[in-house]
Homo-oligomer: A and B are copies of this chain.
């Protein structure tokens, strides 16, 4: 068994965290299994409850474990991820890999474009655009909230589309005959505010990966502007980047 080094300059809780993280990642503690209790870990590693709690606290912040009040600490499932090396909708991308994607339509309405939406879609500020809010579930777990804005004449055509089980990208391409070209993305991290916490079913202040995405038609005209909010504890983006443009190894 791995032992802690009391004389090391690395704090004991960091050493313990590293050992527990390795056991989680290598499957010694399998997904959704109950972790040993604080008392058991303290005894096994000959450290105080405070040290154990600090190590577990950090692992919880990393999303590797979660606590259920009165039941103990459990190993989190590995995060679902989407490969974004090419532009695909969540459904398209995940179902290819055997995941089930379903959406909850939260709202579909016509709204006046605010300054940001107007600039991106190249319409006048205050001009009507269609705004669609959907929560998206991967294998029945809530992973994201997507807010989509489309020019009104395009958006109107989605009113009767199956927004519960289909990607907007595929509806645009297949039903509206608008082939897509490229998208520009900006990615950062924010904390969930009250509205986002409600939609994503997380606590306020939880970590959220935010994507601003503007998708263009194959002709290069802006078509579909989105704010995507992914639960930090449930989802990640993966992609491959080449050192030299045009090189695809």
- A interface, CB within 8 angstroms of B: 14, 18, 21-22, 25-26, 57-58, 61-63, 79, 81, 84-87, 114-116, 179-191, 193-195, 205-210, 218, 220, 230, 232, 235-249
Instruction: Give the distance in Å from the alpha carbon of A193 to the alpha carbon of B84 in the complex.
Output: 28
Known A84-B241, A236-B187, A242-B87; contact A181-B61, beta-carbon cutoff 8 A: no
Given contacts A58-B193, A189-B209, 16 further A-B contacts (CB under 8 A): A14-B195, A22-B116, A81-B186, A87-B241, A182-B242, A182-B243, A182-B249, A186-B237, A187-B209, A187-B236, A188-B235, A188-B236, A188-B237, A189-B189, A189-B207, A189-B232
List 15 A-B residue pairs with CB atoms under 8 Å apart, sorted by A's residue number.
A25-B115, A26-B115, A85-B241, A86-B241, A87-B241, A179-B243, A180-B243, A182-B241, A182-B247, A187-B209, A187-B238, A189-B210, A190-B207, A191-B191, A246-B248
Instruction: Give the distance in Å from the alpha carbon of A191 to the alpha carbon of B63 in the complex.
Output: 9
Instruction: Give the distance in Å from the alpha carbon of A244 to the alpha carbon of B237 in the complex.
Output: 18
- Flag if A188 contacts B22 (CB, 8 Å): no
Instruction: Give the distance in Å from the alpha carbon of A25 to the alpha carbon of B120 in the complex.
Output: 13
- Flag if B185 contacts A243 (CB, 8 Å): no
Which B residues are CB-close (under 8 A) to A193? Answer: 57-58, 61-62
Instruction: Give the distance in Å from the alpha carbon of A188 to the alpha carbon of B242 in the complex.
Output: 20
Instruction: Give the distance in Å from the alpha carbon of A58 to the alpha carbon of B197 in the complex.
Output: 12
Which B residues are CB-close (under 8 A) to A209? Answer: 187-189, 209
A249 to chain B, nearest CB (A): 5
- Flag if A243 contacts B187 (CB, 8 Å): no
- Flag if A87 contacts B243 (CB, 8 Å): yes
Known A26-B115, A249-B181; contact A190-B242, beta-carbon cutoff 8 A: no
Which of B61, B183, B218, B238 contacts A190 (CB under 8 A)? B61
Known A114-B22, A240-B182; contact A190-B84, beta-carbon cutoff 8 A: no
Identify the interface centre among A86, A188, A210: most chain B CB within 10 Å of its CB: A188
